[in-house]
Structure 1
Amino acid sequence: MISGTEGLPVDPPIAADGTSLSRVHMVGIGGAGMSAIARILADRGLPVSGSDAKGSHVLTGLAQRGVLTAVGHTGDNLDLLPGGPTAVVVSTAIRLTNPEVVEARRRGIPVLQRAIALAALMTDHRSVCVAGTHGKTSTTSMLTVALQAAGLDPSFAIGGELNESGSGAHHGTGDIFVAESDESDGSFLAFAPHGAIITNLEADHLDHHGTAEAYAAVFRQFVDRIMPGGFLVLCLDDPGTRTLMSEVAGQPGSPRIVTYGFTDGADLRITDHRPAGHGGTAVVQVAGEVDVLLHLAVPGAHMLSNAVAALAAGIALGVSADTMAAGLAAYTGVRRRFEYKGRSCGVSVYDDYAHHPTEVAAQLLAARSVLAGTADSGWTPEPHEAGRLVVIFQPHLYSRTVAFAAQFATALSAADVVVVLDVYGAREDPVPGVSGELITRQIPDGPVTDGADSRQVLYLPSLAAVPETVGNLVRPGDLVITMGAGDVTMLGPQLLEHLESR
Structure 2
Amino acid sequence: MSKEKYHFIGVGGAGMSVVAQLFFARGWQLTGSDQNDSANLKKLRELGIHCWVGTRPQLITSEMTVVYSSAIHPDNPEFAAAKAAGCKFLHRSQALALASADCKFVAVAGAHGKTTTSGMLAQTFSQLGADPSFAVGGVVRHYQTGAHLGKGDYFIAEADESDASFLNYRPQVAIITNIEPDHLDNYGSAEKFEQAFFDFTNCIKPGGTVILCTDDPGCCRLLARLRSPQGAAADQKSKIQMLGYGIKNPPAGLDRFCQVKPQEEEPASVSAEFILGEESTTVRLPMPGQHNLLNAAAVFLAAQVAGFSGSEISQALGDFAGTARRFETKGEVGRIRVIDDYAHHPTEVEALMHQAREAAVTGRVLALFQPHLYSRTRNFASRFASALDLADQVIVCDIFGAREDPIPGVTSQIITDKMQHGSYLPDRDTAARLLAEAAQPGDLILTVGAGDVTAAGAVILRTLEQRFAQ
Match of 1:400 in 2: 376
Matches for 1:143-222 after TM superposition, within 5 Å: 143-222=121-200
Q: Secondary structure at the match of 1:292?
A: strand
Q: Secondary structure at the match of 1:116?
A: helix
1:256-308 deviations in Å (ceiling 9; x for gaps): 01110112247111114311111121111112x11111110121111111011
Q: Does 1:413 align with 2:389?
A: yes
Quote the offset at 1:410 in angstroms.
0.5
Q: Secondary structure at the match of 1:298?
A: coil
Match of 2:115 in 1: 137
Q: Does 1:111 align with 2:111?
A: no
Match of 1:450 in 2: none
Matches for 1:381-396 after TM superposition, within 5 Å: 386-396=362-372
Matches for 1:421-436 after TM superposition, within 5 Å: 421-436=397-412
> Is the CA contact 1:398–1:423 (under 8 Å) kept in the aligned structure 2?
yes
Q: Does 1:57 align with 2:42?
A: no
1:287-342 deviations in Å (ceiling 9; x for gaps): 2x111111101211111110110111111122222212111111111111111100
Cα separation, 1, equivalents of 2:269 and 2:247: 18
TM-score, L = length of structure 2: 0.95
User: Alignment identity in percent?
Assistant: 41
Q: Does 1:253 align with 2:236?
A: yes
Cα separation, 1, equivalents of 2:282 and 2:463: 43
Q: Secondary structure at the match of 2:423?
A: strand
Q: Does 1:475 align with 2:459?
A: no
Cα separation, 2, equivalents of 1:85 and 1:274: 58
Matches for 1:81-92 after TM superposition, within 5 Å: 86-92=64-70
Quote the offset at 1:77 in angstroms.
4.2
- Which of 338, 353, 368 aligns to 2:327? It is 338
Cα separation, 1, equivalents of 2:431 and 2:314: 41
Q: Secondary structure at the match of 2:264?
A: strand
> Is the CA contact 1:25–1:85 (under 8 Å) kept in the aligned structure 2?
no
Match of 1:225 in 2: 203
Gaps of at least 5 residues in structure 2 are 229-233, 251-255
Cα separation, 2, equivalents of 1:236 and 1:324: 21
Cα separation, 1, equivalents of 2:249 and 2:326: 29
Match of 1:38 in 2: 20
Q: Does 1:497 align with 2:444?
A: no
Quote the offset at 1:439 in angstroms.
0.5
Cα separation, 1, equivalents of 2:39 and 2:114: 23
Q: Which amino acid aligns with 1:245?
A: L
Quote the offset at 1:85 in angstroms.
5.1
Cα separation, 2, equivalents of 1:463 and 1:76: 37
Cα separation, 1, equivalents of 2:368 and 2:398: 11
- Which of 443, 450, 465 aligns to 1:485? It is 450
Match of 2:231 in 1: none
Question: What is the CA RMSD across the aligned residues, in angstroms?
Answer: 1.3
Relative to structure 1, the CA distance from residue 467 to residue 264 in structure 2 (aligned partners, 3 Å threshold; closer, same or farther) is closer
Gaps of at least 5 residues in structure 1 are 3-11, 13-20, 373-385, 445-455
TM-score, L = length of structure 1: 0.89
Cα separation, 1, equivalents of 2:391 and 2:209: 39
Q: Secondary structure at the match of 1:159?
A: strand
Q: Which amino acid aligns with 1:274?
A: E
Matches for 1:306-325 after TM superposition, within 5 Å: 306-325=295-314
Quote the offset at 1:240 in angstroms.
0.4
Q: Secondary structure at the match of 2:145?
A: coil
> Is the CA contact 1:70–1:77 (under 8 Å) kept in the aligned structure 2?
no
> Is the CA contact 2:370–2:397 (under 8 Å) kept in the aligned structure 1?
yes
- Which of 282, 291, 304 aligns to 2:280? It is 291
1:230-264 deviations in Å (ceiling 9; x for gaps): 00000111100000001113632212011101122
Match of 1:461 in 2: 426
> Is the CA contact 1:192–1:227 (under 8 Å) kept in the aligned structure 2?
yes
Cα separation, 2, equivalents of 1:500 and 1:77: 47
